Structure 1
């Protein structure tokens, strides 16, 4: 069937991408559908649309857009925003139908504005704002956010605050399996540690707990899934539109961070045209998402952790996995089978994958000298962001409802803080220069701290 061993390697890597894309996508339409009170068949149809459009967008980006092996899918910024707005609807005096209609408008208006900004050169402004320090803080907070989410999922942490000890033990076993394959795998086999962890973990889960899926509405009928404006005629609630515009800008910065980090990993920096093409394709598909009852798309910075772990940087692997994902979306039976993947298994594997992102974030700070004063440029935004992440959303109930999605998001607040610190504080004034040691002294080697301009460069 395969012409060469290379084709088989691409197929295996594609399957690894398939599970990665699926695990990062499947819960979005499910949770959004339940938040909006959609019928099970409507949720199933939205899942199929989400799978197909996500797969197509990944291929389009890999071939014509940013041309990196990076996943594009339902944006986490938008996902959290939509869930938060739905939860705050009663406080805003809005019914869920009005919220859904205004969200559709927000998706389309925000995406259109972002496209226009990209064409007008706004990305160059963002590049000046998003220094290595800002991107490092962004990646650190993203790592903490994802690791926290997947850790809770792999230990079976429930709303009552209890662990599932059996799931936790199985997850620990899966992590060991992934680590052993990654570290001890000979030749190219070490690149498929995540796929090996999924297969071994899925089999072990089936033996221990049975093969029943914990997901609902895994697939709908094979026809009638393309409902135009399923959330109703677009509405124009001003507050929701304004928050949507802010989310679009935040999502734009995510693209900038993802492509910059990818440029270092692939050892070829993205050009201005690649940045613009990436933003245009992502937001064009986001407009389609608004038309078909899906949340906007974004480039996943978390793909960097996946790539760091697997070392498979070929676009062909992503294209193969995306094509498989499209097929899963077209045929509900395949979606139903894939939905049987236990979430705890997927979470355990992704937890390991995202550990690599921590290293990527730390490397972003290389060349920066920290002392007792300059450490605040990282410590304040990172620790503030982490602290907010660990506060329940309910604690923000007294805040204005439309500000809650922003103020309760530790990632956004942390990034805003580091940007303000980088703009308004002259950190070079706090960098100290130590005197060179006298010959024969026991003092360590002299090191001149990098200047502020060198750090920014």
Structure 2
């Protein structure tokens, strides 16, 4: 496989005008990811809008800081970062526990991931992640988030907005996004999500004017979130195990993202880049747990952007990272972005999870040995995960509190099931 023909290579610095232009493109891709995951998790934790804004501020700060460190001293590749969607599953499973317990588990998970990477043990664990296991993990992330997406699309109890209106609006919007994805090219295709959020919000304000409320005027232009940090170590075995399984998926995502850019650009010292990159992701999640937010992961969106623009310079992402750091201290700007209606966030998340399903299916069918047994190994864990994800709250409440984050978590149950089927029941001879 030959190297991609590039306008600017990995360690080349474009002229300042082009550098700024490409940085803005990366920023337009990164911001929606932070807003989507940030808004979903913040609403789970807080009823007060001010607390929700502070949460998203911390996400912007972590993402910008870690991206900058990765570019300069970590994997040193043009990769964007953002909050890990798979950790959202752990947060949902730990709703019956305190926030300190949830983020202590992320703190511990980050430490373990960093240690595994530094020690070289992570390379030994990769044997567990066969093609079928990875396919199931990718599919489970999407399917077990379906109830959350559904709750975001449907209006809240007591709302004057019709549920049918929201469903039809979401269906129309996601279909238009697929049409746009099919025909758009270059920068327009790369920044589709942010345009969908902007245009979708404007369209929804016409359909349901009372549902769009911009609350940015109640916040200072410049404000710090430092005073909101209050970490206290609190561990519950069930919640911790649930998050450790989520970190298995996070590590696969991180490894795959780094390798995908490595395959495209073929830089020197890839093993060292992978080790440094995953180690920093672990340390970043440790810091995220300390700050009380969902930890980041490297995203696999970069190869498509690099291929469409011909620009692989890692330096184009440095202004992007600095921009995220600046935004983290501008609550009025974040409040404005956070005013996007939940139906728009839910619809965009639905679109993103469709891409996750596509990745899972591509992984499942990439093996030449795919057969009926492979279908069973993939089908049972996915079905089990979906069933558990949709269990009513009254059923989950009958489970022992210590085991609820494990057996009541569709993602965790699905991962344990596929590991059992793949490595014991259908173990390859």
Gap change, CA 1:137 and 1:102, over 3 Å in 2: closer
Contact residue 103 and residue 241 of structure 1 kept, 8 A: no
SS in 2 for 1:384: helix
Gap change, CA 1:344 and 1:61, over 3 Å in 2: farther
Gap change, CA 1:334 and 1:223, over 3 Å in 2: closer
Partner of 2:295: 297
Superposed, 1:8-407 pairs within 5 Å as 8=21, 10-34=23-47, 41-66=50-75, 67=77, 69-73=79-83, 75-87=84-96, 89=97, 99-103=98-102, 105-146=104-145, 149-154=148-153, 156=154, 158=156, 164-185=163-184, 188-210=187-209, 213=212, 221=220, 222-227=222-227, 229-230=229-230, 234-236=232-234, 240=236, 243-244=239-240, 247-248=243-244, 250-260=246-256, 263-264=259-260, 267-268=263-264, 271-292=270-291, 294-299=292-297, 303-304=299-300, 321-365=320-364, 366-407=366-407
* Unmatched 5+ stretches in structure 2: 1-14
Gap change, CA 1:79 and 1:402, over 3 Å in 2: farther
Worse-matched range after superposition: 112-121 or 380-389: 112-121
Contact residue 109 and residue 245 of structure 1 kept, 8 A: no
* Unmatched 5+ stretches in structure 1: 90-98, 430-457
> Which is higher, the Rg of structure 1 or of structure 2?
1
Q: CA RMSD in A?
A: 3.8
Between the aligned partners of 1:215 and 1:392, the Cα distance in structure 2 is 34
Q: CA deviation at 1:246?
A: 5.4
Partner of 1:454: none
Higher relative contact order (CA 8 A, sep 6+): 2
**Structure 1 residues 334-365: Cα deviation after superposition (integer angstroms, max 9, x where no partner):** 11211122222233233223323222212212
Q: CA deviation at 1:404?
A: 0.6
Gap change, CA 1:260 and 1:184, over 3 Å in 2: closer
TM-score, normalised to structure 1's length?
0.74
TM-score, normalised to structure 2's length?
0.78
Contact residue 179 and residue 193 of structure 1 kept, 8 A: no
Contact residue 288 and residue 294 of structure 2 kept, 8 A: yes
Number of positions where the alignment pairs a residue of Structure 1 with one of Structure 2: 405
